[in-house]
Amino acid sequence: AWANVPMGPPDPILGVVEAFKKDTSDIKVNLSVGAYRDDSGKPRVLDCVRKAEDFIISQRLDKEYIPIIGLDSFNQAAIKFAYGENSAPLKENRIAVAQSLSGTGSLRVAASYIQRFMGSNTTILVPKPTWGNHLSVFHDAGLKTTDYRYLNKSTNSLDIQGFLSDIEAAPNGSVILLHGCAHNPTGVDPSPEQWKQIMEVSQRKKFVNFFDVAYQGFASGDPHKDAYSLRLFTDNNLPIILAQSFAKNMGLYGERIGAVSIVCNDVEEKNRVLSQMKILIRPLYSSPPISGARIAERIFNDPSLNKEWLTELKGMADRIIEMRSLLKSHLVNDFNSKLNWDHITSQIGMFCFTGMTPEQVVRLRDEFHIYLTSNGRISVAGVNSKNVRYIAESFHKVTQ
C-alpha cells in the first residue's frame, strides 16, 4: 500500500546526535541538543521533581482520564506563573487556558484555533530564523508563514530596523509569533526598549500576538524578568495567545507538560473560546497526560517545593551564564582570539549563535569531535568546567 511513499529527510538535529554517538573519541562534545546537562554532562532531574513524584506516589491516586483541558489546579498555576499574579485578565478570570502536550502541543492547538477562527488564509509572521518546528507546526495546521528580519548576521545581534520595517509592511490584523524570551536558535532577545517599539507597531497594526514561552526562568534565572515581554503586551491590552512549555524550566521534557492560553475581553468571551478549545482538542488527543500535570501542579502549589524549584531553576540558569563567560574569556584571554566574541555573553538562554560558518562546523566535527548544528548554534548546556577550555581552543583554531 505504501510503495509510493518517499523516504523523508532525517531530522537535522537528531542527525547530529547520531553522528556524535558513533564517534569513539574520548574528547567528543555534543553541543547540539537543547536539553540541560549538569557540570558533569549528565541529564538532571530536579530535587523538587523527585519530591513531588514521591508525594504523588504516596497518595495512591487513580489514573482516570483528566478533563479535555487538563488539571484545573495546574492550568491556573501555569497562567499565574506566566502573566503574573497581578495581571488584570487573570484577576478578572478572562484567560481561556488548557493543559497541553508541552510547548509543541500547545503551539499546535493554538495554530489550529487560529486556522479555524481566523481562516486558512491567515499568515503568521515569524522571525528569520526561528525554531524549525514552528514552521512545520504552523504549516501542518494549515497556516501560511512569512518571515520578518531578526538577526543581523554581521554582528550576531538583533536587526531591530529590519524587524520593525518588515512587520510595519505586513497586513493589519496579522498574527505575529514572538519568542517571549531566549529566542531559539539565536539567543538574541530585544531589549525592554525594543520590545516597546515592537509593541507600538503591533498595537497600531492590530496584530494578534502569539507568544511562545519555552524558557521562562531558564534564561535569566528570574521568571518575572523572563516574562517581561508577555506582560508588557498583556498589560497594554494587546490580543494574546500563549504557548508555554515546562520542559526546560522544570526539566520535565518527556512528561510533555505545557499550556495554551488565550486572553479574552470578558468572562463570557472566555467561556466561548474555551468551549472551542475543547472542541479542537477532543479529536486531536482527547485529553492530556496526567503525570507531568500532577508534578508541575505540586511544584507550583506547594510553597516549600516552589521555593526549592526557584532555587534550582536559578542554579541551572546561572551555570549556563557562567559557561558563557568562561567560554568567552578563554577565547579572548587564553587563546588571544582577535575576533569579537561579545555575543557569547550578550545572548541569553540555552542557545548561542556562534557565527560559525557551515565549513567551520564541519571542521569542528571532523578535526575536534565537537558537534553543533550546521547553522552554528550551540547548546551552552553542553559546555562544562571540564570541556570549556577545549571548546574555546577548538573554536579559536577553526576561526583563526
Q: Which residues bind ligand PMP (CB under 6 A)?
A: 34, 102-104, 131, 179, 184, 212, 214, 245, 247, 253, 258
Helices and strands, number each (H, E), in the chain: 16, 13
Distance between CA 216 and CA 222 in Å, rounded?
8
For residue 152, the cross-strand partners are 157
Least distance in Å: CB of 237 to ligand PMP? 25
Least distance in Å: CB of 224 to ligand PMP? 20
Distance between CA 278 and CA 271 in Å, rounded?
11
Give me the catalytic one of 212, 226, 309, 328: 212
Q: What residue is closest to ligand PMP based on CB?
A: 103
- What separation in angstroms does the CA of 139 have from each of 104, 122, 135? 13, 11, 6
3-state helix, strand, coil split of the chain in percent (to 5) is: 50, 15, 35
**Is residue 54 among the annotated active site residues?**
no
Q: Among residues 137 and 326, whose Cβ is nearest to ligand PMP?
A: 137
Q: Are 116 and 110 in contact (CB under 8 A)?
A: no
Least distance in Å: CB of 104 to ligand PMP? 3
Q: Which amino acid is it at 98?
A: A
Least distance in Å: CB of 258 to ligand PMP? 5
**Is residue 131 among the annotated active site residues?**
yes
Sign of CA dihedral 186, 191, 197, 201: positive
Q: Among residues 55 and 253, whose Cβ is nearest to ligand PMP?
A: 253
**Is residue 153 among the annotated active site residues?**
no
Give me the catalytic one of 51, 166, 195, 248: 248
Which cell numbers in the block locate residue 394?
A: 577548538
Least distance in Å: CB of 349 to ligand PMP? 9
Q: Among residues 13 and 170, whose Cβ is nearest to ligand PMP?
A: 13
Give me the catalytic one of 131, 195, 309, 341: 131
Residue indicated by cell numbers 569513539: 24
Q: Among residues 183 and 270, whose Cβ is nearest to ligand PMP?
A: 183
Q: Among residues 186 and 337, whose Cβ is nearest to ligand PMP?
A: 186
User: What one-character DSSP code corresponds to residue 318?
Assistant: H
Catalytic center residues: 131, 212, 248
